[in-house]
Structure 1
Amino acid sequence: MAMLCDPEALDSLSEDAIAGILQYWAHFCDLTDSLLSQNVPSCGLDSQLGPTIATLCDHGLASLLQDHFLQSLEEAFKKSAVKKFWQQFHSYCDASAIEKANFHEQDNWPEEILSKSLKEICSEKRSQENCLLVLVENLKSFEDRIAKRESEIEHPSSQLMSRYQLMASSVLLTTLPWDFPDILRIYFKKKLEELNSMIADGDSYELEINIHDSQNDADFYHMDTSMCGCNGLVMQIGKVVSDLRSLGFTSMAEDAYSFAIFLLLKSKVNELAGDDYRVPVLWSLKKWIRAVPLQFLHDLLGYLGDSIEYEKESLNVKSPLASQPSSFPGIGIPSEALVRWQLRLEYFAYETLQDLRIGKLFEIIVDYPDSSPAIEDLKRCLEYTGQHSKLVDSFISSLKYRLLTAGASTNDILHQYVSTIKALRTIDPAGVFLEAVGEPIRDYLRGRKDTIKCIVTMLTDGTGGNSGGSGNAGDSLLEELNRDAENQDGADFEEDGGTDEKQAWLNAERWEPDPVEADPLKGSRNRRKIDILELMVGIIGSKDQLVNEYRVMLAEKLLNKSDYDIDSEIRTLELLKIHFGESSMQKCEIMLNDLIDSKRTNANIKATLGKAAAPGSEQREMNISLDILDATIISSNFWPPIQEEELNIPSSVNQLLSDYAKRFHEIKTPRKLMWKKNLGTVKLELQFEDRSMRFTVSPVHAAIIMQFQEKPSWSSKILAAEIGMPADTLNRRISFWISKGILTESAGREPDDPSFTIVDSMADLNKNGLASEGCQLMEEESERSVASVEEQLIKEMTVFEKFIMGLLTNYGTATLDKIHNTLKMFCISEPTYDKSLHQLQSFLSDLISEEKIEMRDGLYSLKK
């Protein structure tokens, strides 16, 4: 037997006294073993233990007997309770991953084993606590007796119970299996899922708990457990949490049910959000948070005695997520602990929903504006989390991977860019994050040759640039033009400093600094002025290029009109004049006026020329009426260069054009008409033996098919000479009629001179078959009435080609900027060099493709 005592005290004792102390000590150890073995203190042991403890304490051994008693409790606790407790979980801890998965699928696991094992070990622990109370009471009796003689004395027995609690917790934690926290998480996860299912099925619950004395554990186990449904389930969970707390697993228990709550919340966010972006989610999510996890936590904290209500002086507490405290249905004024939980849950919900929406932002913007509710939810989430940089980084990555690729059409990229602007303008009206997100798109679009054409189509076409007319109305930029016109007066008024003093103060009070992600070189005022049209012009480089492309497209559209209906073009032009200025749109306005004048002149000529037609004239004989002719008379100096092509038309049609031109000269002296016979449209009705077919084609196609009225078969070269065009051009154009099953092609006498024959009957038509409509579309797209902007640029820049070649001969190499500045410096007389840097670069690219020059490391030089 080992004993520790003060050496000085032992020196003052006689051998008989020491022997007596040893005898008392041995008796105390026997009594301790008997007390712990019975697990229930008896009156006999208690009566013997008191004098023994008093004698040992008189000799200064109080600390020693406390240490011995706690050590005995620890050894007994390890042998009788801890070892048995952990053995209950060995089957799971020693299992493989697949076997553990099977455990998870069992309905009553780990509820049954966890509840049973916790009940057993807590019962054992309470028995030891009762034994410890015997020692504490005897020590207090001795301490009280000493206190009568000495005014100041410490009472070490008051800390004995806390030392035991710490000892029991230490024993459990030092022997803790690695998988026990997972077991707790699985338990709480299953219980909360069960609770959520009950509430989803319509079961409401409200658990009334009286806060009990935490020292009175008997109250824990004698509470009413006859409740059913949600109330009983919360009490089961609360009992497990209480047992874990009593064992020192407070933090582990809170982590476990917190994990389960957040896991359930994340699952709910995914369930509500999903892939449907047309329904707002936040309101439903916050409602669910209050109905399920907060209600559960309110009842759980009340069961555990942790519910501390707000005091009056704390009612002014403010929260970034909600005005706290607020009254919850079924809860009333929440406790401080519940408010902290509400803030944690709501922030987690905002962050989870935000991450989901950011991950699907590309799809959300594709569906914009139908997906506006999802954008609004994302905006609110970002206001609370402040994680805007996450949105920028994620979305730029999606754009580079999914949109800015060679497989995506320019139209699709532009439509996505417009939707991106509108969506991000909702999230960030200042445009800070649009600058970062839009820059890769703008850089990529500048490298595409058809970008300007697609932008102009979106500006002028109400279908958003989709020829099929199925485009989303939101894809068109016409609405931006309308908005710009509506806001023009107000914007000018504000720019002129017309805002009154009161409004200025209101604006100053609402001012906020730019986010840290903002470009410091761009001020807030300039950033707020950014709109979609300005961004589009920024892609092109200058408004002049956009206007030139619009002028070409307008000319193409007007020349291909079969009537004089230009109301939509006039409306679009007026909107463009507001945005780009009247002077830049002057030529376009003259083009539209030409159509208006053409309609009036056409009606006048028909009225007079129709009356003058002689009864026996050639027109009457050929059954050609003047009503079939509508002429578009243009002022060629204000129109883009017109594509010309030699064409011989039937004499009857030619005579009709001559009569029309003669009458025009009489009315508009001294102006004369010069017919562009290859331009316009012709409506034909082809009649065969058993069918008739109608077509709207170009004059070239009409001239080709009308030659088959004279004879049913032609060779390629003879037909080309008759129409007045090269044979290869004829072979390309005649493929349209072959694709429609009107003509058939066969081998001629010479390999390069095929023969074409008209199909008379439906039987021959079915035998030859019909080609797809794609042939017609490709043919029509390849025929342009007006020279494109690129063709005009090449024609205009050709005069500077010799100058560029001479410059490179003299200097050897030159950068793009040097060539551009040299041309501006020396080419100041007619023709004047007035091209942009982008236009010069495009022309130099054509010279490279023609292998006249080359470029290496940004330097241009002559081709070697």
Structure 2
Amino acid sequence: MATDALKAQVRSKWQDAFKRINSNNPGITGLMAFSEVGHAVVHEETTQHLFSKQSWSHTLAFVKPINIKEDPPPKRADITTARRDFEVVNYCRRLPSDWCLDDDYMFSDEIRQKFYLVREDIDSYLSDYELSKDLSHISRLILRLKEWYDAWTPPEELGATIRNAFVLVFQTQLYSSLGPTFVKGFKDLIASTFPSSDPDIPSQTLDASTWVIFETLGFLDRYENIIASAGYEHIEAHVLEACAGQWETPMMDTLRTWMSEKVVPWLLLMYGRDANTTDEARALLSTIGSRFDFHVAKTLCDLRTREIFDIIVDYPDSAGALQDLKECLQRVDQRGALVKSLRKANRKRLLHPGAETRLILTQYVATIKCLRIVDPPGVLLFKVADPIRRERPDTIRCIVSNLVGDDDSGDSLVDESEPIVPLQQADTEDYTDPNWEPEPVDAGPDFRTNKPSDVISTLVSIYDSRDLFVKELQVLLAQRLLAITDDSTEKVEKERRNIEILKIRFGEAALQVCEVMLKDMTDSKRIDGHVQSQKASIVHPTIISRQFWPMLESSEIVMPGQFQILQDQYAKEFSTFKPDKRLRWLPHLGTVHLELQLEDRMLEVDVPPLEAAFIELFSEKNIRTIDELINAVGSVDKSAAFKALLAWVDLGVLKEDEPGTFRLLEVAEEAGPARDSSSRIAPTTEQDLAPVTSLQQQQAEQMKVYWKFIEGMLTNLGQLPLDRIQTMLRFAPGYDQTIEQLAGFMEAARREGLVGVKDGLWKLTPR
């Protein structure tokens, strides 16, 4: 049954039809008048035999499809006669699909039945194109289709109704007959009309009449995306050819000039044929022109995104490419793609085990400078920096090494032209500031609002606290100060100047410990001068304050023989000068200058204390085993002992007769592996001279102290989450670790089997 809505719709349609036929006359008077007129017309036409069999067949000749392959074409009937019949049909408002006049003839069916003639030509031309790939076959096919179209188009005198019906049916049949081969050929034909970037390669030109044919056949609407894609591919090819690897100067202006000279004339042929003035042409091209200009920006942005790593490496010579990238990103939303591409390139080409951390930082500093140009707020830089601090634990040390002016590290990370400014801290945003700007939409909740003004501030800002830098700075300064072996004050003064500069960045309060270390170096020289004035000694120790220096690596080595005597004599004189203090020797640190007098030669070398202790023992006995030597000097790692003995073997002083047994060579052996003593210089690594415990080792030692607190918590309170442990540890004296550091310590304890974790709750492992 029909629904109420359907009944209402039918009722409404019926009323509209009745009003139209009745001409809004009262009652049915209009309907009666229409019936009389129709009867009169039919009567008149019947009188003139217009509806006779012969007359109607002549009229159909104007709309019946003909075979243009026949010669000559069939003769058409009189247009005046046919138009009168169609006026009657149009007056009755009959639809074209309802023309079932005489022998059930239907105009659309006749076109479908005769369209095999057109299809034969289509198949023939496309077969030739598939064999030869010659675009001229596509061009001739389109002209042939226009001939069929013109031959079958009803005359204009018959009215727009039948012509529109013909266009619909013809194009429907045509599009169903044109397969993928034609689409590809048509796209190649369009692509061939673009001017080539190479002036030696001629390009095919289509005049305005050809585009009119495309429009007549409906190709411009049907294949609009195909035509546009051909234009996009032409733009992409030109951008890649003209801009790939060209980073010195910006290319966007050059590309826009190329667009206006080469592409816009082509656009006018397609979209601006009907324009009579420049303003009309500009209005017609405004939409499509902006799309093509957008594609230029997108293509260039994609190219620069793929090249971003090499662009950063080549900076500052690649400043032009960065300007292009900045301009393109303002139009194309590809900031996320840029971050993804740069992080992927960093992982593949930079953040791998073979790359030194300093080289990574050098590249990162270049990244800072480049992304400043592309994205001044720093959002992109903040997202790119994260893998560096996570994957390289020694990043802080490399930054600090550069801050203190490490002479052996190569080029400085810091541009000397940049002013030294204090490290900026994240401040509460002042929304009353007239220059305030909101953060970019892709900033994310973790983005810091402070925007450092120099490279070092930016490097420090990727970490949560600058205290890490200060502690690492103390460790590095201690190593550099303890590595000074001569009595010159030049190196100490250089370190003092570095600390004064760093005070500007970190503040004086943060570097008070460094000030104490520098003061110790000055006081040590003064004390040594006083001791030497009382009793001359060849021992020149560096005297430091244990409470203010970073933790030094411990050792139980005992210097034998004359070394012990010299230490005791110096300690006695020091106690006389400083009765309230005493010296605690660290004999494993420092350097010993030795003159070895053998039977046939004399050697003068600078060696570490352990090597000096071993050779001193050989002065008492010519043959010794490694176990004897270790027992004589105290607790020493066996590998370190072998290293020290092999150093003397290299110099031709000792010889290993049996595994673990060494003999002093008073007379050099000709076949021995002796080398020139001048090649033996001070130890090669700074850490051998001054083995100061690293920041990571110090943190691990500190956490061992707090393990008792953690163990007590978990024993008394049971399972606890990490943040609860962190909160309770803050009441412990001197605890200053972050929750990330605590998490690392707890994970290490879990690997050792001390604790376990489940659902974020930590508990002691039963023993």
User: Aligning the two structures, in what range does the TM-score lie when normalised by the shorter sequence?
Assistant: 0.7 to 0.9
Q: For residue 661 of structure 2, what is the aligned residue in structure 1? A: 754
Q: For residue 439 of structure 2, what is the aligned residue in structure 1? A: 514
Task: Supply the AA of the counterpart residue of 2:516.
Answer: I
Q: For residue 734 of structure 1, what is the aligned residue in structure 2? A: 644
Q: For residue 32 of structure 2, what is the aligned residue in structure 1? A: none
1:725/1:13 CA distance change after superposition, 3 Å? closer
Q: For residue 691 of structure 2, what is the aligned residue in structure 1? A: 785
Q: For residue 114 of structure 1, what is the aligned residue in structure 2? A: 138
Query: Does the CA contact (< 8 Å) of 1:452 and 1:540 recur in 2?
Result: no
1:634 matched to 2:569? The reply is no
Q: For residue 289 of structure 1, what is the aligned residue in structure 2? A: 259
Q: For residue 126 of structure 2, what is the aligned residue in structure 1? A: 89
Return the offset for 1:18: 3.9
Return the offset for 1:559: 0.6
Q: Secondary structure at the match of 1:112?
A: helix
Query: Does the CA contact (< 8 Å) of 2:479 and 2:692 recur in 1?
Result: yes
Matches within 5 A, 1:62-141: 74=111, 78=115, 81-90=118-127, 109-126=133-150, 136=156, 139=157
Match of 2:238 among 262, 268, 273: 268
Distance 2:84 2:368 in 1: 89
Pick which of 369-378 and 11-20 moved more: 11-20
Match of 1:701 among 590, 598, 611: 611
Match of 1:187 among 183, 186, 189: 189
Distance 2:396 2:317 in 1: 27
Cα deviation 1:27-80 (Å, max 9, x = unaligned): 5557988997799999x968x726654775798799999989977995797365
Query: Does the CA contact (< 8 Å) of 2:247 and 2:321 recur in 1?
Result: yes
Q: For residue 143 of structure 1, what is the aligned residue in structure 2? A: none
Query: Does the CA contact (< 8 Å) of 1:854 and 1:863 recur in 2?
Result: no
Pick which of 66-75 and 755-764 moved more: 66-75
Distance 2:192 2:650 in 1: 69
1:696/1:79 CA distance change after superposition, 3 Å? same
Task: Supply the AA of the counterpart residue of 1:639.
Answer: W
Task: Supply the AA of the counterpart residue of 1:357.
Answer: R
Return the offset for 1:185: 1.2
Q: Secondary structure at the match of 2:691?
A: coil
Q: For residue 282 of structure 2, what is the aligned residue in structure 1? A: 335
Query: Does the CA contact (< 8 Å) of 1:548 and 1:789 recur in 2?
Result: yes
Task: Supply the AA of the counterpart residue of 1:760.
Answer: A
Distance 2:729 2:75 in 1: 115
1:731/1:308 CA distance change after superposition, 3 Å? farther
Match of 2:559 among 648, 656, 659: 648
Distance 1:720 1:20 in 2: 130
1:842/1:784 CA distance change after superposition, 3 Å? farther
Query: Does the CA contact (< 8 Å) of 1:191 and 1:237 recur in 2?
Result: no
Query: Does the CA contact (< 8 Å) of 1:649 and 1:723 recur in 2?
Result: yes
Matches within 5 A, 1:156-167: 157=159
Cα deviation 1:660-687 (Å, max 9, x = unaligned): 7788788889877665433223466889
Return the offset for 1:528: 3.6
Distance 2:703 2:111 in 1: 98
Distance 1:861 1:165 in 2: 85
1:553 matched to 2:553? The reply is no
Return the offset for 1:340: 3.8
Q: Would you tell me which structure has more helix in proportion to its own residues?
A: 1
Q: Secondary structure at the match of 2:305?
A: helix
Distance 1:858 1:72 in 2: 80
Q: For residue 331 of structure 1, what is the aligned residue in structure 2? A: none
Work out the percentage of aligned pairs sharing the same amino acid: 27
Cα deviation 1:396-427 (Å, max 9, x = unaligned): 67777887788887667666665555544433
Pick which of 7-16 and 799-808 moved more: 7-16
Return the offset for 1:741: 6.2
Q: Secondary structure at the match of 2:511?
A: helix
Q: For residue 514 of structure 2, what is the aligned residue in structure 1? A: 588
Q: Secondary structure at the match of 2:662?
A: strand
Return the offset for 1:703: 3.9
1:631/1:529 CA distance change after superposition, 3 Å? same
1:172 matched to 2:174? The reply is yes
Q: For residue 386 of structure 1, what is the aligned residue in structure 2? A: 333
Task: Supply the AA of the counterpart residue of 1:259.
Answer: S
Q: Secondary structure at the match of 2:78?
A: helix
Please report the TM-score for the alignment, with normalisation by the length of structure 1: 0.66
Return the offset for 1:596: 4.1
Q: For residue 22 of structure 1, what is the aligned residue in structure 2? A: 53
Q: Secondary structure at the match of 1:196?
A: coil
Return the offset for 1:698: 1.9
1:853/1:536 CA distance change after superposition, 3 Å? farther
Matches within 5 A, 1:135-150: 136=156, 139=157
1:679 matched to 2:605? The reply is no
Q: Secondary structure at the match of 1:292?
A: helix
- Number of residues paired by the alignment? 714
Query: Does the CA contact (< 8 Å) of 1:365 and 1:371 recur in 2?
Result: yes
Match of 2:296 among 335, 346, 349: 349
Return the offset for 1:111: 1.9
What are the ranges of 5 or more consecutive residues in structure 2 without an aligned counterpart? 1-36, 100-104
1:181/1:757 CA distance change after superposition, 3 Å? farther
Q: For residue 762 of structure 2, what is the aligned residue in structure 1? A: 859
Task: Supply the AA of the counterpart residue of 2:234.
Answer: L
Cα deviation 1:558-597 (Å, max 9, x = unaligned): 1112344145433432233223221221121121233345
Distance 1:84 1:603 in 2: 111
Query: Does the CA contact (< 8 Å) of 2:108 and 2:169 recur in 1?
Result: no
What are the ranges of 5 or more consecutive residues in structure 1 without an aligned counterpart? 1-5, 93-99, 140-155, 204-228, 315-333, 614-618, 620-625
1:87/1:765 CA distance change after superposition, 3 Å? same
Return the offset for 1:433: 4.4
1:162/1:59 CA distance change after superposition, 3 Å? closer
Task: Supply the AA of the counterpart residue of 1:646.
Answer: I
Query: Root-mean-square deviation (CA), in Å?
Result: 5.4
Q: Secondary structure at the match of 2:763?
A: strand
Return the offset for 1:605: 7.8
Pick which of 7-16 and 699-708 moved more: 7-16
Distance 2:428 2:715 in 1: 53
Match of 2:273 among 305, 329, 333: 305
Distance 1:20 1:587 in 2: 117
1:431/1:658 CA distance change after superposition, 3 Å? same
Distance 1:244 1:743 in 2: 97
Query: Does the CA contact (< 8 Å) of 1:688 and 1:761 recur in 2?
Result: no
Return the offset for 1:846: 6.0
Task: Supply the AA of the counterpart residue of 1:574.
Answer: E
Q: Secondary structure at the match of 2:218?
A: coil
Task: Supply the AA of the counterpart residue of 1:176.
Answer: L
Q: Secondary structure at the match of 2:544?
A: coil
Matches within 5 A, 1:567-582: 567-582=493-508
1:739/1:373 CA distance change after superposition, 3 Å? farther
Match of 1:765 among 666, 673, 677: 673
1:49 matched to 2:78? The reply is yes
Cα deviation 1:275-319 (Å, max 9, x = unaligned): 676664434433433343234434x359x73445444xx9xxxxx
Q: For residue 810 of structure 1, what is the aligned residue in structure 2? A: 716
Return the offset for 1:737: 0.9
1:834/1:186 CA distance change after superposition, 3 Å? closer
Query: Does the CA contact (< 8 Å) of 1:73 and 1:128 recur in 2?
Result: no
Return the offset for 1:859: 0.8
Task: Supply the AA of the counterpart residue of 2:55.
Answer: Y
Q: Secondary structure at the match of 1:386?
A: coil
Q: Secondary structure at the match of 1:89?
A: helix
1:694/1:127 CA distance change after superposition, 3 Å? farther
Distance 2:393 2:69 in 1: 95
